[in-house]
Amino acid sequence: MKKVNRNNEAIDVTTVGGRIKKLRTDAGYTQEELAARLHLEGKSAISNYENNSRGVSAEMLTQLSRLFHVSADYILNGDTPDNLDLVVNEAIEILNNLKTDKANQSALEVLRQIQILEG
């Protein structure tokens, strides 16, 4: 299955590298930004992962899983549990990027109100 990123380029999500690229582009990171978040020297390591010319170590797999809030199984095999919800992952990413305590508290209050409405 191929997905299309924001630049309308097809991303082959049937490979480990393709899934990493999809996660990166969906999160809005450049290769340089992802490398910095993973404490890598430059974008070449990310490029090598995405082109499947470099394998992902167990440590890097753990870091990617945590950063993108997905399972290692998803990155390695494309497996997703039935209860994996992309909306939840996007909400987590938004919450992680909030910069102030006031913004965090406001977001939690909105979520609590939605929860009440859902009853």
Would you say how long the chain is, in residues? 119
- Is pTM, for the whole model, over 0.75? no
Listed in sequence order, the DSSP H helices in 1-119 are: 16-27, 31-37, 43-50, 58-68, 72-77, 86-97, 101-118
Q: pLDDT truncated to tens, each residue of the chain (119 aa)?
A: 444 444 556 888 899 999 999 999 989 999 999 999 999 988 999 999 999 999 999 999 999 999 998 889 899 998 775 555 677 777 877 887 888 989 989 998 998 999 899 87
pLDDT at 104: 87
* Gap between the Cα atoms of 36 and 21, Å rounded: 15
